[in-house]
A and B are shown apart, each in its own frame.
Chain A
């Protein structure tokens, strides 16, 4: 059985340590926001998970292009891994956003441009994971997956820019936004430091999970090849 690489062990420790530190910063270092109170602290991990999710979709699109150029199965596994982790992170971002919205907007959900585009993006990639299951031939599945993640990537800039180009109540914390947005706040230096550290943390956690998921994908690929060989 393939042993876990030392670098991955180090990355595990760094990711876990960063996550604990980021949590500590959120609860004990970042000040309490004057209007929204404690629920504003959800913002740090809400944005960080959304960022990691979108980063993963970008990685998947790049892997898709690379697969179509090289036709090496490894790139299909990279794309699949990135999408799976990103769907999980985006799910967290959507649910935590809804929890934040309840006391801030007085509603769990509203069909605002950002919320709508984020949900579409999540569903597009969730469909990718489901549709892959229906294709038995590994080469066809990989080709389909590559094209899908490239086309699906359109939903990512659309979601990112939705709060900047449409009228929305979703706040834009960095760069200012629609004057109708509700829940906007100015970040103090401590808030900004916590926010940036959370972004960095979730980037590291994403990288760590990616490595684990790719190892799982390579193992699954080997098992699948042996099963085909023995008609299991």
Chain B
């Protein structure tokens, strides 16, 4: 009886491709958030040190 039961076509390769896209795009986006934040934090440190230097020079003049 099971011999004549219709079986679905094997489309698992498409499913794997679909989920690979979902996870890889999300991973790249989260990574981009992390890298942008790190870069901004470095900029912030440099600018804050400039700011502190500026404050000190006001007192030395």
Contact = CB atoms under 8 A, between A and B. Distances in A.
Interface string B4-44: 00101111101101110110011001100100110011011
B41 to A, nearest CB: 6
B21 A223 contact: no
B51 interface: yes
Given A35-B8, A37-B11, A42 B19 contact: yes
Interface of B is mostly: helix
A173 interface: no
Contact of A46 (B10, B17, B18, B41): B18
Contacts of B47: 223, 226-227, 230, 232
Contact of B8 (A37, A45, A88): A37
Contact of A226 (B17, B36, B51): B51
Interface string A70-113: 00000000000000010010011001100110110000000000
Contacts of B15: 38-39, 41-42
Interface of A is mostly: helix
Contact of B40 (A41, A92, A220): A220
Contact of B18 (A32, A35, A99, A215): A99
Interface string A153-179: 000000000000000000000000000
Contacts of B37: 215-216, 219
A213 interface: yes
B43 A223 contact: yes
A45 B22 contact: yes
A130 to B, nearest CB: 16
B21 A92 contact: yes
A35 B6 CA distance: 9
Nearest to A215: B37
Nearest to B10: A37
A45 to B, nearest CB: 5
26 contacts: A1-B41, A1-B44, A33-B8, A34-B6, A37-B8, A38-B12, A39-B11, A39-B15, A41-B15, A41-B18, A42-B15, A45-B19, A91-B25, A92-B21, A92-B26, A95-B21, A96-B21, A99-B17, A99-B18, A102-B14, A222-B44, A226-B47, A226-B48, A226-B50, A230-B50, A232-B47
Q: Which 8 A-B residue pairs are closest in the complex by CB-CB distance?
A: A37-B8, A39-B11, A42-B18, A226-B47, A38-B12, A38-B15, A39-B14, A37-B11
